[in-house]
Amino acid sequence: PRPLTVAAAQLGPNNKDMSRDEILARLLKHMDDAALRGVRLIAFPELALTTFFPVMLLTAAAEVSAYFEPASPSRPYGVLETPHGKPLVEKAHALGMDFYLGYAERWTGEDGVPIDYNATLYYSVAAGRAIAKYRKVHLPGTKEPIDGGGTKVYQQLEKRYFHPGDLGFQAFRAPGLVEGAVKAEDADAEGAEGGKMNSTDRKGDPIIGMLICNDRRWPEAWRPYGLQGAELVIEGYNTTAWAPQYDGSPEEQTATAEFHHRLSCQAGSYHNACWSINVGKCGEENGQWMIGGSMIVDPNGRVVAESETLGDELVVAGIDLALCRKGKDRVFNFERHRRVDQYGILLEQ
């Protein structure tokens, strides 16, 4: 067994009048509560530090930029240097707890032109730094407001505020989380869990991939991680429960949204023989409802732990990474069973 205790730190609404400090206090409380339950890795939702602003039509540039965290080649994880990011790092070290954090990133590269992304990072306590970043690839909704921005519809304006992610789906190994990992050169030929290894990687350290919200609905987003041997995919979301412009009562729409969420998380885990932590921000935020259903899913696609409320709630599970082996060696042994010569259309259209 390769045991690890993980948590989905579900958040209730971050209303737009809440300060970063107020929100940060809730994140830190989640970490303290998680430590009491032996958690070594905690995941926060998409855009965890702010309200889900893509539902709003913001016209003033300053209003938009207030939601973003600066980043640049010299400060790739600028958010962790801010007054609302530093305390997360300090708490992580005090408790020995890695974290996944969703946030809005304003990246200013060498050319000085800012580009905005819906991003997430993975902070590793053992490494003493953030070791991975992912930028959301699948941006739902529209660039222009529907119905002229009218208040009788709910907007989803991610295409307006973000550029599609440009980092691909790069899996990584997180050091120090499970017992018994050994240096790559000392590992015996028979891999404990497969996957690509860099020379500094330690065999036995979990292979992790990151997604953000809408990505979880796309098999194309999970599969690159599966192909890299991912044992755990972490995904934060904000999913509208219902919208007045769509058919069906709020109850019917909510039930369908919850079903599709569950289906996507369970299928992604099963098809790639990996665990997944899926964590939402939910409840009534600025008058609009978002689904809960934060869940931890095993490599068989079974939900092993799930939230019960639409508020701040910690969902904890003891997982065994070794459970991925069955699927990876049998039904989803990609090397043995995939037929890449038949998949060309995936890259043509």
d(C-alpha 188, C-alpha 206), whole Å: 17
Of 126-134, 194-202, 212-220, 225-233, the window that binds ligand CDT (rule: CB under 6 A) is 212-220
Q: Is 46 a catalytic residue?
A: yes
Q: Is 274 a catalytic residue?
A: no
Minimum CB distance to ligand CDT smaller for 204 or for 280: 280
d(C-alpha 294, C-alpha 7), whole Å: 10
d(C-alpha 21, C-alpha 3), whole Å: 34
- CB under 8 Å to 116, separation ≥6 — which residues? 68, 104, 105, 106, 107, 161, 162, 163
Closest CA to 157 of 221, 90, 231, 64: 64
Q: Which of 50, 214, 228, 278 binds ligand CDT (CB under 6 A)?
A: 214
Q: Name which of residues 165 to 184 contact ligand CDT (CB under 6 A).
A: none
Minimum CB distance to ligand CDT smaller for 239 or for 269: 239
- CB under 8 Å to 321, separation ≥6 — which residues? 2, 3, 4, 178, 193, 206, 231, 232, 275
281 is a site residue for ligand CDT (CB under 6 A): no
d(C-alpha 104, C-alpha 257), whole Å: 24
Residue carrying the six token digits 């809408």: 214
Of 174-182, 184-192, 209-217, 271-279, the window that binds ligand CDT (rule: CB under 6 A) is 209-217
219 is a site residue for ligand CDT (CB under 6 A): no
Q: Is 143 a catalytic residue?
A: no
Helices (H), the chain: 20-36, 61-65, 86-95, 158-161, 219-227, 250-271, 324-329, 334-337, 345-348
Q: Could you tell me how many residues of this chain bind ligand CDT (CB under 6 A)?
A: 10
Residue carrying the six token digits 């600066």: 70
d(C-alpha 216, C-alpha 213), whole Å: 6
CA 311 to chain centre: 18
Q: Which of 10, 50, 155, 240 binds ligand CDT (CB under 6 A)?
A: 240
Q: Name which of residues 19 to 78 contact ligand CDT (CB under 6 A).
A: 46
Sketch the per residue contact string, 132 through 161, with ligand CDT: x for CB under 6 A, - otherwise.
--------x---------------x-----
266 is a site residue for ligand CDT (CB under 6 A): no
CB of 212 to ligand CDT, least distance (A): 7
Of 27-35, 182-190, 234-242, 341-349, the window that binds ligand CDT (rule: CB under 6 A) is 234-242
Catalytic-role residue among 91, 136, 203, 281: 136
Minimum CB distance to ligand CDT smaller for 214 or for 269: 214
Closest CA to 274 of 213, 215, 206: 206
Catalytic-role residue among 203, 213, 265, 313: 213
237 is a site residue for ligand CDT (CB under 6 A): yes
Catalytic site positions: 46, 136, 213
Q: Note the residues at the interface with ligand CDT (CB under 6 A).
A: 46, 140, 156, 213-214, 217, 237-240
